[in-house]
Structure 1
Amino acid sequence: MPDDVLTSTLLLGLLGLLIGSFLNVVIHRLPLMLERRWAAECAELQGEQPPDQPPLSLTTPRSRCPHCGHAIRWYENVPVISYLVLRGRCSECQARISPRYPLVEILTGGLFAWCGWQWGLTAAAAVWCGFAAAIVTLAFIDWDTTLLPDDITLPLLWAGLCAAALGFSGTALPDALWGAVGGYLSLWLVYWGFKLLTGKEGMGYGDFKLFAALGAWFGWQALIPIILMASIIGAVIGIGIKFVGQLREGGYVPFGPFLALAGLTAMIFGPMAILRLFGL
């Protein structure tokens, strides 16, 4: 491996570990912030005062142990290493720390490293690192809450169009534009067809927006491979969850994480490789 490729891979990999640590905060706090925002809007519409709560943002308050409230020191927050040194436990109360925290850090670091290996220290690597970070965040938030926040999906869609216009994503702008349109409309039609036939909602509007964003990044040609991959992964995992009796109340599994996984697969292997994987 040439020295410049190795350097860019290592640098972006390390940056990804740091970004992954921040993404853990976003995954946890953004849904809570949205709930507060919605509660305040509802109170305002009813002519009431919103509930008085301590400030909450992505930076305030400092990260704390959810069990004992211990404020996490900076050296206890070093990606992956702190988890290993602490043996996965809070230094104060010894409560277990979820292994998902280092998992998100390692996943983000690996994706950033791959971008560095593929594109070096370039604008293309930067935009695809941003894509990967957004997709990881959306996948985990949707899995936890069944929410795909507009705060992430809509900027991701516009970023895909802008990256195409600037020539950073490798997708032509017309293909990106029609990919966004086709991604949104296709799932919108499926949603309404299913609702008219069954009277039930099969997915949320966030799925339309995420698929539109993927269309903006990869072009309309990638829509069928991505939805095929997402559907197969979702079916396999859904059957597995049902088999072990871990389905949520209502018997549903969010679709967003499978769209996200298909999007990352398309980023790494290319959309057409997904079709070849299935012999198409």
Structure 2
Amino acid sequence: MSFTHLSSLSFEAILVFALLGLIVGSFINVLIHRLPVMILASEDNPASEFNLMTPRSHCPHCHHRLQWFELIPLFSYVFLKGRCRHCAQSISMRYPVVELVTAALFLLCLHQYGFTLQALAACFFCATLLALAWIDAETFLLPDILTQALLWVGLIGSALSLTHTPLLQSLGGAVLGYGLLWLVSWGFEKLAGKEGMGQGDLKLLAGLGAWVGVWSLLPLILLASISGLIFGIVQKFRGQLGHNGHFAFGPFLALSGFACFFLGISMGA
């Protein structure tokens, strides 16, 4: 797969994508923190007013409402030296890490597609997948609003030639992605007598299939399964796997999805 050398791109294009990545990374942090709370709150209290907009951003320790200069992606964290300026409690490293990773992914999209709409579509893929992977790793949840967005934007992007996957391969990847993982999950449940993976994993693979296409599904599943198996074995020996032996599979699907998307790993043309 061809790449556009960053040296051939204008400084303005690099700056725009880097800043856009930091801003979107800040929003991903909001999704990571609030979506699981919203899902659990809606189950316990359907009338809950907690959402992505309210209440306004505040310190989780002293609940002080943050000012605009405390919300500048990355720079606020550095300026405040990683601590709340009111109660001096430390701010989680997740915030700058997610922002930096998002900026790096956006620059990778620029590197691969140049200053184009295709690059912006790839940025959406990266941002959504990063949010899903992080939420699943922390909470074992894969919010439908994100998996469905990944699926439908992938299909629409394919139809509009904003992705490198032809529409028929995108449709086949979505359908087969859900079906294959459902079959694996069903077989495991019949053999082991317990649920192997949740519906969220199936929806995530369907969304990934819409972006990478049907020919990349098997390599994606194999990469995710092997990396997940290695992780499970390591955690088992470290005594950190948990009593039920479960761990989040979404991050491994996401990492494999990144690999197939950017490296063009595929079984066919």
**TM-score (structure 2 length as normaliser):** 0.92
In the alignment, which of 38, 42, 65 is matched to residue 37 of structure 1? 42
The one-letter code of the counterpart of 2:217 is: L
Q: Kindly indicate whether the alpha-carbon contact (under 8 Å) linking 2:151 and 2:207 is maintained by their aligned counterparts in 1.
A: yes
| Deviation for aligned residue 1:232 | 1.9
Q: Kindly indicate whether the alpha-carbon contact (under 8 Å) linking 2:211 and 2:261 is maintained by their aligned counterparts in 1.
A: no
Instruction: Look up the match of 1:176.
Output: 170
Instruction: Look up the match of 2:92.
Output: 98
Instruction: Look up the match of 1:250.
Output: 244
Separation (CA, whole Å) in 1 of partners of 2:239 and 2:29: 28
Instruction: Look up the match of 1:233.
Output: 227
Instruction: Look up the match of 1:60.
Output: 54
What RMSD over aligned residues (CA atoms) do the two structures have, in Å? Answer: 1.7
| Alignment partner of 1:24 is 2:18 | no
In the alignment, which of 143, 146, 162 is matched to residue 149 of structure 1? 143
Matched residue pairs, number? 262
Q: Kindly indicate whether the alpha-carbon contact (under 8 Å) linking 1:9 and 1:117 is maintained by their aligned counterparts in 2.
A: no
| Alignment partner of 1:215 is 2:209 | yes
The one-letter code of the counterpart of 2:165 is: T
The one-letter code of the counterpart of 1:256 is: G
Instruction: Look up the match of 1:193.
Output: 187
SS in 2 for 1:128: helix
1:43-54 correspondence to structure 2 within 5 Å: 53=48
Instruction: Look up the match of 1:160.
Output: 154
Segments of structure 2 that go 5 or more residues without pairing to the other structure are: 1-5
Counting aligned pairs with the same residue, the percent is: 49
Distance 1:248 1:9, change over 3 A: farther
Instruction: Look up the match of 2:114.
Output: 120
Instruction: Look up the match of 1:10.
Output: 15
| Alignment partner of 1:111 is 2:105 | yes
The one-letter code of the counterpart of 1:141 is: I
| Deviation for aligned residue 1:263 | 1.0
Q: Kindly indicate whether the alpha-carbon contact (under 8 Å) linking 1:6 and 1:117 is maintained by their aligned counterparts in 2.
A: no
Q: Kindly indicate whether the alpha-carbon contact (under 8 Å) linking 1:179 and 1:219 is maintained by their aligned counterparts in 2.
A: yes
Segments of structure 1 that go 5 or more residues without pairing to the other structure are: 42-49, 276-280
SS in 2 for 1:271: coil
SS in 2 for 1:257: helix
| Deviation for aligned residue 1:133 | 0.6
Separation (CA, whole Å) in 1 of partners of 2:180 and 2:131: 24
The one-letter code of the counterpart of 2:207 is: A
Choose 63-72 or 204-213, whichever is displaced more: 63-72
Distance 1:86 1:242, change over 3 A: farther
Q: Kindly indicate whether the alpha-carbon contact (under 8 Å) linking 1:9 and 1:120 is maintained by their aligned counterparts in 2.
A: no
